[in-house]
Structure 1
């Protein structure tokens, strides 16, 4: 039963979060295309076999595919779902005028095509700003000073010195060898040089004090550890900064820009050799993260926490994850790689520099093949990273 519940939690949270982010991205393309009078054939969330489909009053087919790893907006004259080329060549000014009148995407002015393509990543960023702003409005920002919190234990590692001594989550360490411990930083400072030496640790549990004997072990960095994490603040000890609507939007924009800047810095460090690419994640990594976020939200709180409260925490946690993932999707799609939005914009930039004359179809075809090879390689690399993280024995 637990296995089935975990599968449903991980798979369900992954599909929900990714579908929201993909819908936001494609809806950006869709809305700007409709605004600019472009004829649209299909709006799809997911690939492969169609599970559900319907047509709206404008004749657009909306559908959900069986493989929830992306989506697309297919314009009326697209030769494929990636909008790499029109179905038919336009060779005369008369044919171009007729195609524009029909709303065919590839016949539209450069400005219209650029706006439609850029709208996907732009909408991802707008969604992230608004999602982070909503979270800031609801939850505020914690500004609690960790050093003002007693050395209350949050977790105790299995097979650790703390577990062997009987330390439990929620215990407050009061003193070590007669020296008062006021916060978690002081706890770490007193334990660090004591590897292999037995310590007399006074703790407070359920309003009373007792003494435990603990012998810290030596970590890989040479410092002694007990195997605990903290501090664990009580609700009454937490300090929450509240935001107004405009401040919340500013906070959302700051969070979004922070992720963009951090991602750009990381990619630059990879190319300069200062970082490896082991932090790049693929679908398996997203499944794992979304499942962990959902599981943590559902198990958070005390035994008295209601189902409604847990579902509320789940919704906020998944919204935060969707906001983070939306920034990543927007950023990646702006990379100048053919088949991505950034690749289309690169071609449009070249077209503008050539006085409105696009690259020859053969050059575009080879560029798209190269782009597909790059993305396929990146997908395999990210998947391998996911496997090695999930199964450390695989190398």
Structure 2
């Protein structure tokens, strides 16, 4: 513990301060400090009081070494913003009575519970509390020494998932009904050097992600038609998973397609897709899309794709293949059946054909075969049955239908 309140300290490197890595509680309130140079030695500090000094900021980079800090007060200084390194364990940030006028550069504070910014110019910003909720995330419990407003929490929930990233980059906060278009325009302007000349970005989004269900990203890039599209534009994808603070995104191995299937362990997290554009030999910096939080599946499976493989010829073996979104249920054995549909008639169940594999018979010739599949979980939850119609089955070599009229006439 080190208590130097009111000692007129001007520098943390001054002799006699005795700063050391063992200190956990450091009180430097009411001094003449204007720089944090020297604070990096406090690698174990939990409580750091820097209030009533002469900090103007920026210049909080040395705090990057204070990774276990839980309480930080920079109140009663001359700060114009709260730009600083991420603080993974900070629970209370007190920054009242400064000159803060922007949220640009706001740090990642994934466990912050209480934020205080009273008596700052930024209080004139509409819905500052909602902005703070978006920046901090669900851990925030108090704002300016009171519990969060239910109205501000509800308002924050109406904003796009990427809003916090835009606020940190300087986006001017607006009403939620305008935010989707406004933030997208903000990102498009930011990405103007990430898109080849002659192309423009129309969409960058991700479907609402659900456990064990297909989630697709959408990057729509339009050519203006004024120039040739040769060579063609290629898009490359990489999926990431991170927490609600939108920090610490980790690449998902082998998730490099337009589609990703969120896992059970992903529930509550957020997805990010980076899309890199390549035109000829030029590879452009990536653009991105952020998803909402991954929700738990309802446990009811659904078929997302149904196919029939094999040659549609009498005697051949065909196989029905179903791709199922299990939506949180344990994969089980589905119910398969085959039907036969003659021209201009309704399908009729083929008796005994209750497996995913079926051998075509003479009765199937000139008919369409229908594969019906109902997904079922181990728990017994059934999804909606889906159907796949084939083309018409052809007669096999040597069958009755292949014989010509002369072949059927008796020999002399």
- TM-score normalised to the size of structure 1? 0.23
Q: More relative contact order in 1 or in 2 (CA 8 Å, sep 6+)? A: 1
- Which one has the bigger strand percentage? 2
Please say which structure displays the higher CA radius of gyration.
2
- TM-score normalised to the size of structure 2? 0.22
